[in-house]
Structure 1
Amino acid sequence: MTTYVWGYLGEYEKERQDLLEAVDTVFSSGRLVWGPFVDAFEEAFAAYHGVPHCAGVDNGTNAIVLALRALGVGRGDEVITVSNTAAPTVLAIDMTGAKPVFVDIHADTYLMDVGQVEAAITERTKAIVPVHMYGQTVDMAPLERIAADHGLPIVEDCAQAHGARYHGRIAGTIGRAGAFSFYPTKVLGAYGHAGATITADPEIDARLRRLRYYGMDEGRYFVEEAGGQNSRLDEVHAEILRRKLTRLDDYIAGRQAVAARYDEALADSGLVLPVTAPGNVHVYYLYVVRHPERDRIIELMKEHDIALNISYPWPVHHQRGFAHFGYPREMLPVTERLAGEIFSLPMYPSLTVAEQDRVIGALRETLAKL
């Protein structure tokens, strides 16, 4: 049997009864949209983060889009972010009409190099979107200082960092808003597309809710502002997520245990292993390693029926769909170099010790052939 990077089938086997009860509860209620289950999840997710407001939406991309739009980001503006990210981060900025401005990343953590942010600020800069990649947070304290000095809001992209912490502060609560994806493979995943934005600001929350509902206030059929869209979270995903939220800390502990076993078993393997930044609690959405012969390793591992993933093989500014930004390919040396070396080992809480040992053994055998 092929060992894949994603493991939600094992999770489903373990949680099947509770998940099916969630679906049946929603379907039996007759409230499939805009009902009590979204309200209950929003309340629980906000409480987990210690903030007063959570707005559930249909996916993580729109969680970022709506947060930026709620902050007034629009056509002609600039938003600072990174190119080492999933394309939806940058698509979300583009969807507001703004232009992404890229800074490079650190070679050890693969996170935004905050030291480059201030030089990237112009009179058009309207927001900063740090991406908490692979399960840990950007160095937020200096970024907060820069943002405050220039009067810029921070929208945290937390799609890969559910429950991650920065010096005791939980990801998503440090900026003006935190945007989350609940794609099935995430640390907290739905069984389909889903997302949410959290904030401590009631005005941002109110505008988010209006924008996700055609520009209408909830419960009314009167459009208050143009540009609204249908981006509501479905009831069934909300109830599944509410139940799974009670297990989020267990998911995180499971991922951390898998990461610890990799750390020990591969310490002398020749791979560059993940580095946790000081003060961070890493939740290991992905276990990302580096090797200059990455592509050959991936091919050789297929001989063992083990599929590995690359997150991400192409920097955003290299992709044809973003050519309209006009950026040169050679502008972010660390991002560009690492894109040819990084890859992910299987990482999910339901990965058994025996399965992980199989991956480790095959990987050591592969590395010995290089």
Structure 2
Amino acid sequence: MNNITTAIPFVDLQLQHQPLQTQIEEAVRGTIQRGDFILGQAVADFEAAFASACGVAYGIGVASGTDALALGLEACGIGAGDEVILPTNTFIATLIGVVHAGATPILVDCDPQTALIDFTAAEKAVTAKTKAIVPVHLYGQMVSPRQLLDFASTHNLIVFEDAAQAHLAQREGYRAGSIGKAAAFSFYPSKNLGAIGDGGMVITNDEAVAQKMRSLRNYGCSRKYYHTEPGTNSRLDTLQAAVLNIKLPHLADWNHSRNQAAQQYDALLKPLANSGIFPIQNQSGNGHIYHLYVVRVTEACPLDRQTIQDKLAAVGIQTGIHYPIPCHLQPAFENLGYQAGDFPQAEALALEILSLPMYPGLSDTQVHQVIDTLQTLCVRT
């Protein structure tokens, strides 16, 4: 561990923004000069550009990824009396989106190798009230489109993708957000495509869904001061869209950089399998865009996860846990009636997972430092 000479952050936004600083400042200044702060030209430009990049027709910018989930589900006709299947192994926003749409969330377990939704478990959860499935493209890896479409077709379900961590991810010839009726994205600053504040978007090929979304995000207004439905105030700020327009052309290269760093991690981690540390499995090849790089610290490891985190932090290596408590065990949703033991794979993963530093520009030297330190800590002598 004496070879650690510099701190390695978990995410380095400064490294990403520095080359674009002048362009970002000019974009912000231009918005201020025009004064079109709400639904300005930059919003329309970004909506069109991002939808096109994802291979769909329409993009509707909203205030956050959570709003994209809730309003997007509502725009797809999902609401009270409808059951929606989603994995318990996800960020809480997925569950909140379903609840805010008025639907009943039906949680299911995950595949321990990929951390993605388990279709066998989902099969058992289908009832006569099931209307939709929300697959979560977790950590930057897509759920299998083939399996997803087969499942949805078999049970006549709407597919609404949670693609908050999967900007331009690919699998089986599909891009994230292009599989189902609609999809939600987040532009939280640390995402692969992040704003300088909150932001989100729903993308879709369905014109009716797009029209409904434009109304819902803007007070249920089909034209100014004419409100046809109860909507809300959830609009992507023009300032955020202006920044995102600068960053979008670089997204493919940033994703490639992440994937290259992940391949290096994978190769260097192989000897640590004997010490009980394994990466979450990549079944998407270069289509995995690694919003997060996650390993499992299993019982075979001589050190527990907390000790590893503490010792890495002591030498300047930041890590995270995504996520330490599955949705079904969150106190806010005790009313759903789930208990410990209901979803054993997700519960086991929550105790094992550890997210290592991952961002575009993460160097080979930094990856080596992280893994060399893990080896020093964990390899049995």
- TM (norm. structure 2) is 0.93
Equivalent-residue separation in structure 2 for 1:360 and 1:283 (angstroms): 20
Match of 1:77 among 73, 82, 85: 82
- Residues 1:17 and 2:28 aligned together: no
Structure 1: gaps of 5 or more residues? none
Please show how residues 207-222 of structure 1 align to structure 2 within 5 Å.
207-217=212-222, 219-222=223-226
Displacement of 1:127: 1.1
Displacement of 1:147: 1.5
Please show how residues 99-248 of structure 1 align to structure 2 within 5 Å.
99-217=104-222, 219-226=223-230, 228-248=231-251
- Report the 3-state secondary structure (helix = DSSP H, G, I; strand = E; otherwise coil) of the residue aligned with 2:315: coil
Structure 2: gaps of 5 or more residues? 1-5, 299-303
Give the alignment's Cα RMSD to 1 decimal. Answer: 1.6
Name the stretch that deviates more: 106-115 or 196-205.
106-115
Equivalent-residue separation in structure 1 for 2:77 and 2:184 (angstroms): 16
Equivalent-residue separation in structure 1 for 2:33 and 2:380 (angstroms): 57
Please show how residues 308-323 of structure 1 align to structure 2 within 5 Å.
308-323=319-334
Structure 2 residue identity aligned to 1:3: I
Displacement of 1:61: 0.5
Match of 1:357 in 2: 368
Structure 1 residue identity aligned to 2:308: I
After superposition, the C-alpha distances for 1:199-245 in whole angstroms (9 at most, x for unaligned) are: 0000011101110011001x41111112x000100001111111211
- Report the 3-state secondary structure (helix = DSSP H, G, I; strand = E; otherwise coil) of the residue aligned with 1:269: helix
The answer as to whether partners of 2:269 and 2:278 remain within 8 angstroms in 1 is: no
Equivalent-residue separation in structure 2 for 1:107 and 1:368 (angstroms): 23
- Report the 3-state secondary structure (helix = DSSP H, G, I; strand = E; otherwise coil) of the residue aligned with 1:208: helix
Match of 1:272 among 268, 272, 278: 278
- Residues 1:90 and 2:99 aligned together: no
The answer as to whether partners of 1:86 and 1:312 remain within 8 angstroms in 2 is: yes
Structure 2 residue identity aligned to 1:170: R
- Report the 3-state secondary structure (helix = DSSP H, G, I; strand = E; otherwise coil) of the residue aligned with 2:131: strand
User: Equivalent pairs: percent with the same residue?
Assistant: 40
- Report the 3-state secondary structure (helix = DSSP H, G, I; strand = E; otherwise coil) of the residue aligned with 1:266: helix
Match of 1:261 among 240, 264, 269: 264
The answer as to whether partners of 2:165 and 2:291 remain within 8 angstroms in 1 is: yes
The answer as to whether partners of 1:114 and 1:139 remain within 8 angstroms in 2 is: no
Match of 2:252 in 1: 249
Residue-pair matches, total: 368
- Report the 3-state secondary structure (helix = DSSP H, G, I; strand = E; otherwise coil) of the residue aligned with 1:144: helix
Match of 1:289 in 2: 295
Equivalent-residue separation in structure 2 for 1:49 and 1:237 (angstroms): 19
